[in-house]
């Protein structure tokens, strides 16, 4: 099954789609149009950039191949967490400590920006403060504590250490050894947030067109984008479609892999039971390479993610397989029924660091096609900041955008035919490490 067919299958039973009313739709692009900046992709990165650019006075048109929030932005685990998907050591090795500190600070700014946008635009998206990182063994607990202590000592970012004796007050599970608590991070309903941000962008003057996939792109001083029913010319373009650009720029596609991630959500639980599972109501994630992540929702459900696929094949018996992982963590949910099970594809880079940059301009001109990709499953907050960085760059200050753009990326090995099998083998090795540690 190809990626798009698999993805359509995974949208059918989403808790987010069932609980977020689409109050506004946007007509497809028709005929010919022009703008200052064209944004390709109606997820959080694209919508955030469009909003920022419109507020700075640019004429912005956003093209979305399906519906706003249809991809990862509207189907993820809902966890807005500090940092990047990769460890800061990856950034330090490439850019040095000072630039790594700058990138870390921007990841915290991303959390503040998310909260500020919720407040300023009145977006009702079930935001809750708090994130709990937990370790599944004593060794991983020591590694987690060492990491947290270094982040406070070197980066000035303090978190609360939770030793084994204290952890049961934070999570009603015997599976975990110890943890850390971060009050700056948190969680929300991602589709409600994405749709709310799109409404804010439209109110700011952004022309949004759904059902408008970009079929071809011709670079130039004015880039030409063609859709099935129209054509758009723009002085600048932002490509924010991630795995859904579908070969529009092959050199970008080779640097990311679509990895399937899957989530289940129970029926509403008894109030006392729901309150007892994670008393702080924080988002929770373990520290394994192939990790589990979960949280309780505002309507007293357990939302649990813990399956991945490194091909486009949806795991068999998806709801039941995730339910079994949930019960491994919370045996007290053994009788809880799964009401929803869904998934989608995230854009993983080789080093799990985000991949931002510009495409080289033809004829030696100034580059005017930007791209944002490679959030690697850790983009709920960072996508919002990335959109702001692109807006700053187009407005003439590319210093912060270029800090990220200096992170080096390599294509996945094996070419188009062999890179998926190679990734499957590599991830199986990491999974084995998780199990024996």
Q: What is the CATH number of the domain that holds 265?
A: 3.50.50.60
Q: How confident is the model at residue 312 (pLDDT cuts 50, 70, 90)?
A: confident
Examine the pLDDT at 145 and tell me if it is beyond 80: yes
pLDDT of residue 6: 74
Q: Would residue 104 count as lying in a domain? A: yes
Q: Would residue 435 count as lying in a domain? A: no
Least confident of 34-38, 124-128, 192-196, 349-353: 349-353
Q: How confident is the model at residue 414 (pLDDT cuts 50, 70, 90)?
A: low
Least confident of 15-29, 234-248, 264-278, 304-318: 304-318
pLDDT of residue 135: 98
Q: Would residue 352 count as lying in a domain? A: yes
Q: Would residue 134 count as lying in a domain? A: yes
Examine the pLDDT at 437 and tell me if it is beyond 80: no
Q: How confident is the model at residue 413 (pLDDT cuts 50, 70, 90)?
A: confident
3-state secondary structure of 6: helix
Buried b (16+ CB within 10 A) or exposed e, 376-393: bbbbbbbbbbbbbbbbbb
Q: Would residue 256 count as lying in a domain? A: yes
Q: What is the number of domains present in the chain? A: 1
Which ranges in 56-189 belong to alpha helices (H)?
Answer: 88-95, 97-121, 138-155
Examine the pLDDT at 181 and tell me if it is beyond 80: yes
Examine the pLDDT at 81 and tell me if it is beyond 60: yes
Q: Are 24 and 200 in contact (CB under 8 A)?
A: no
Q: How confident is the model at residue 416 (pLDDT cuts 50, 70, 90)?
A: low
Q: Would residue 430 count as lying in a domain? A: no
Average pLDDT over residues 281-303: 95
Examine the pLDDT at 89 and tell me if it is beyond 80: yes
Q: Would residue 429 count as lying in a domain? A: no
Query: For residue 326, what are the domain limits?
Result: 3-424
Closest among 403, 355, 341, 382 to 257, alpha carbons compared:
355
C-alpha distances in Å from residue 311, one per residue of 197, 240, 359, 360, 383: 31, 22, 28, 31, 24
Q: Would residue 118 count as lying in a domain? A: yes
Closest among 79, 75, 68 to 12, alpha carbons compared:
75
């Amino acid at each position: 099954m190809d990626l798009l067919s698999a993805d359509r299958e995974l949208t059918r039973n989403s808790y987010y789609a069932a609980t977020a009313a689409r109050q506004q739709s946007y007509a497809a692009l028709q005929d010919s149009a022009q703008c200052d900046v064209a944004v390709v992709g109606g997820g959080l990165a694209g919508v955030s950039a469009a909003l920022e650019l419109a507020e700075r006075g640019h004429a912005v048109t956003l093209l979305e191949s399906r519906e706003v929030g249809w991809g990862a932005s509207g189907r993820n685990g809902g966890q807005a967490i500090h940092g990047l998907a990769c460890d800061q050591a990856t950034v330090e090795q490439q850019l040095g400590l000072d630039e790594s500190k700058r990138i870390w600070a921007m990841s915290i700014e991303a959390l503040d920006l998310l909260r500020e946008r919720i407040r300023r635009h009145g977006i009702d998206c079930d935001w809750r403060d708090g994130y709990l990182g937990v370790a599944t063994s004593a060794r991983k607990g020591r590694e987690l504590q060492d990491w947290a202590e270094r982040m406070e000592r070197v980066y000035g970012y303090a978190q609360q250490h939770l030793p084994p004796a204290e952890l049961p007050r934070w999570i009603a599970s015997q599976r975990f050894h110890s943890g850390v608590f971060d009050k700056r991070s948190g969680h929300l309903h991602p589709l409600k947030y994405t749709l709310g941000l799109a409404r804010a962008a439209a109110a700011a003057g952004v022309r949004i067109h759904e059902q408008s996939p970009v079929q071809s792109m011709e670079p130039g001083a004015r880039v030409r984008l063609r859709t099935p029913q129209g054509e758009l010319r723009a002085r600048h373009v932002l490509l924010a479609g991630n795995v859904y650009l579908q070969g529009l720029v092959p050199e970008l596609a080779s640097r990311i892999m679509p990895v399937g991630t899957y989530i289940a959500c129970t029926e509403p639980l008894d109030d006392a039971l729901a309150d007892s599972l994670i008393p702080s109501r924080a988002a929770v994630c373990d520290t394994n390479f192939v990790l589990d992540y979960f949280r309780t929702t505002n309507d007293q459900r357990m939302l649990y993610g813990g399956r991945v696929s490194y091909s486009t094949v949806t795991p068999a018996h998806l709801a039941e397989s995730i339910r079994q992982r949930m019960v491994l963590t919370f045996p007290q949910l053994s009788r809880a029924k799964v009401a929803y099970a869904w998934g989608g594809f995230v854009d993983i880079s080789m080093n799990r660091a985000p991949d931002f940059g510009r495409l080289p301009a033809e004829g030696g001109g100034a580059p005017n096609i930007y791209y944002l990709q490679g959030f690697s499953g850790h983009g709920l907050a960072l996508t919002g900041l990335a959109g702001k960085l692109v807006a700053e760059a187009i407005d003439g200050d590319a210093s912060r955008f270029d800090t990220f753009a200096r992170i080096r990326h390599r294509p996945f090995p094996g070419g188009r035919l062999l890179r998926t099998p190679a990734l499957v083998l590599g991830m199986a090795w990491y999974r084995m490490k998780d199990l024996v540690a």
